[in-house]
Structure 1
């Protein structure tokens, strides 16, 4: 498969947003605007020459929108191959190119966010272990920071202290959502669930993380989407209306 790297020159024309085909969709526009500002920081978005979920996105860890300490590493935002593209070795192809590129740039290794067991929107821990990654650090309730060092003496990455705190003052009243524009799906889902809460007279605070500094000091490892209720972490999985309806029902709202 031919691999295409997104650049300033082809960003507007290339299909980059998972299953979203319409370039005028608010989700596509949001994601491309976010990417445009990251390319000059060293972000690489590498995709198969197809319209579908077959890509890897990575960035120098110093510029990652994640509360981690991993200087000298490359942070993988997302590695996603699914549907008809699974089972053809494309994940290996993309990851191998990331390794090659990162070594060429003198990086210490790779870092990626995972979980104790396979969960949506996080890398599959079984697959990452198969590829030589190991757990560098953990954060409640189930997050794992995995890494692949290129040298056995490389420093071990870790989560920042902000995610180790057990209480977060900004999440104590009703729902609090932290999110970024790194994933296109938040552009559509956040206003929908925010409106659902409003119609139920349920307190809902959406905190849109718009800078790298905010992301690197966030109270949660997954800054793309993390939902709290009355100070308790609920989920990192991006919510559809149906999923959020179930949460409201469980909370008696």
Structure 2
């Protein structure tokens, strides 16, 4: 499989792999705008030459939209191979290219979010473990910060204090959703969740993280989507309207 790197020159025409074909879709427009702002910060979006989910996205950890302390590392936002592309070694192909590129750039290693239990939007723990990644730090309720050091003496990365101190933070009453435009799906689903909460008279505030500084001081490891009810963390998985309505019902709305 040929690998294509997204650049300012080909960003508009290339398919960005997240199951959305229409370049005029609000999700595609949102994601590409976010990508365009990150390319000059060292972000790499590398995809197979296919119209499907077969890509890796990574960025120097100092510029990552995540509350991690991992200076000198490369942070992997997303490694996604699914559907007909699974089982052909493409995940290894993409990861190997990330490793090669990161070593060439003098990085200490790679960092990525995972969980012991296989969950949507988080990297597969078993695959990473097989590839030599180790757990550097953990955060409630199930997040694991995994790393692959290129030098055995490299300093171990960790979550920032904003994640560890979540229980001491006042999220306010009702639902609070933290999200970024790193994933295209938030452009579609966040407004749907806001409307669903409004119909049920459920207090709901959506906090759109729009800067790297905000993301690096966020109270949840996965800044793409983090849903709380009062001070209780509910999920990092982007919710459909139907799934969110079930959550509303479970909490009496």
TM-score (norm 2): 0.99
- Cα deviation 1:75-100 (Å, max 9, x = unaligned): 00000000000000000000000000
Contact 2:17 2:47 in 1 (8 A): no
**CA drift at 1:18:** 1.1
Contact 1:17 1:28 in 2 (8 A): no
Q: Secondary structure at the match of 2:40?
A: helix
Give the gaps of 5 or more residues in structure 2: none
What is aligned with 2:171?
171
* TM-aligned CA distance change 1:207 to 1:244, over 3 Å: same
What is aligned with 2:70?
70
Give the gaps of 5 or more residues in structure 1: none
* 2:103 matches 1:103: yes
Contact 1:22 1:28 in 2 (8 A): yes
Q: Secondary structure at the match of 1:79?
A: strand
CA distance in 2 between partners of 1:247 and 1:90 (Å):
36
* 2:207 matches 1:207: yes
CA distance in 2 between partners of 1:171 and 1:116 (Å):
27
RMSD between aligned residues: 0.8
**CA drift at 1:168:** 5.0
What is aligned with 2:182?
182
* 2:53 matches 1:53: yes
Contact 1:180 1:224 in 2 (8 A): yes
Equivalent residues in 2 for 1:228-243, closer than 5 Å: 228-243=228-243
TM-score (norm 1): 0.99
**CA drift at 1:169:** 3.7
CA distance in 1 between partners of 2:32 and 2:168 (Å):
31
Question: Bigger CA drift: 103-112 or 113-122?
Answer: 113-122
**CA drift at 1:115:** 1.0
**CA drift at 1:170:** 4.3
CA distance in 2 between partners of 1:131 and 1:173 (Å):
43
Contact 1:17 1:184 in 2 (8 A): no
What is aligned with 2:22?
22
- Cα deviation 1:187-217 (Å, max 9, x = unaligned): 0000001011011111000000000000000
**CA drift at 1:238:** 0.1
Contact 1:31 1:181 in 2 (8 A): yes
Contact 2:17 2:55 in 1 (8 A): no
Contact 2:166 2:219 in 1 (8 A): no
Question: Bigger CA drift: 194-203 or 35-44?
Answer: 194-203
What is aligned with 1:160?
160
